[in-house]
Amino acid sequence: MRFKKAFATAGLIAAAALVLTGCNSGTPGATDEGDGGTTEPTTSSNPWTVAEDFTLEGSPTFDKIQERGKVVIGVKEDQPGLGYYDNVTQERSGFDVDIARWIAASIGFDEKQIEYKAIASANREQAIVNGDVDYYVGTYSINDKRKNDIDFAGPYFITGQGLLVRVDDTDYQKLEDLNGKTVCSATGSTPIQNIKDNFKEIKPQEFDLYSACVENLVNGQVDAVTTDQAILIGYAAQQPDDLKVTSGPVFTEEQYGVGLAKGDDVFRAHINELFTDGGDVWTKIFDNNLGDSGITVDQPAVDAY
């Protein structure tokens, strides 16, 4: 399944600005060294229920979670609408965060039994391999290189690489329009690797956090920020007088998956089954976080490899 309507149109960005500004307070600038708060989600009623007397035989990940008595989830916390931590309210919000909560609930763990760990893009595989997190949900694109070290459940969302620029700058229609200019993205991300591999005349700039790229864009230190349009819409909404997402087509297709320990086929199958059978829950999670942003999507089918 694919997007029914392109992300970046003028009306979409305006709608996204109104919605996401209303749903997220503060400026997206939290560090990736957060202390892993466990505050309750902002919605008063969740579309999922917490499983009771749950077992998952044959899953080393579940055995470790059960022995520990809590779930440790890797997340992003500087992406409004997807994975965001508000330093003022100390609340987490976003589509990815709710997907992570839904998975935890499906194996019998509620919000009070979750520890969140903010992991920079470049460190995600290592965190999973080391066992620092039980699973990772945070705009994590599925690709074959990553599958050498970890496994993925999903995908649970599909987007594509776009561009964020200053509001008065050129409405770039393709990456080649930025030849000779500096484009920023997160270290270890798929978009920055795409630029390095395929657009040699663009000057890449990397930071651990997308929010650092956005700050440098506003200050004139870089010419554009590139990552998935789903992420960029949130940043444009935070600073609509300064930033815009270009109206050109997306450059890639990015399938977001849940990163987990390689070889835990039982846990991966459980999450895939959850997504496959839980279409109503997925839709409500989407509507709660991104439903008014102007994008119309279908839930993608999982890749049960």
Task: Give me the average pLDDT of each 10-residue run along the chain (305 residues).
Answer: 37 37 34 40 73 97 98 95 95 97 98 97 96 97 96 96 92 91 93 93 95 96 93 86 88 94 98 98 92 75 94
- Picking from 164, 183, 223, the residue whose alpha carbon sits closest to that of residue 193 is 183
Q: Which CATH class is domain 1-24+161-252?
A: alpha beta
Q: What is the CA angle 227-225-189, rounded to 5?
A: 40
Cα 282 from Cα 299, distance rounded (Å): 7
| 91-93 β-sheet, strand order | 78-79, 83-86, 91-93
Q: Which long-range contacts (CB under 8 A, 24 or more apart) does 251-254 make?
A: 251/160, 251/161, 251/162, 251/174, 251/175, 251/194, 252/160, 252/161, 252/190, 252/191, 252/194, 253/158, 253/159, 253/160, 254/141, 254/158, 254/159, 254/160, 254/161, 254/190, 254/228
**Residue 9 confidence (pLDDT):** 38
**Residue 223 confidence (pLDDT):** 96
Provide the sign of the torsion angle of the four alpha carbons 138, 139, 143, 145, taken in this order. negative
Task: Please return the burial class of 237, using the count of CB atoms within 10 Å of its CB with bins 0-12, 13-18 and 19+.
Answer: buried
Cα 32 from Cα 144, distance rounded (Å): 25
Show Cβ contacts of residue 212 under 8 Å, excluding neighbours closer than 6 positions: none
Beta strands in 104-149 (DSSP E): 114-118, 135-136
Cα 158 from Cα 51, distance rounded (Å): 28
**Residue 249 confidence (pLDDT):** 82
Same fold, 1-24+161-252 and 31-157+256-290: yes
- Residue 121 DSSP code: G
Each domain of the chain, given as residue ranges in start order, spans 1-24+161-252, 31-157+256-290
**Residue 261 confidence (pLDDT):** 98
Per CATH, the number for 31-157+256-290 is 3.40.190.10
Q: What is the residue type of 86?
A: D
Cα 38 from Cα 257, distance rounded (Å): 23
Per the CB < 8 A criterion, the answer to whether 144 and 151 are in contact is: no
Residue whose token pair is 């989600």: 41
**Residue 199 confidence (pLDDT):** 95
**Residue 173 confidence (pLDDT):** 86
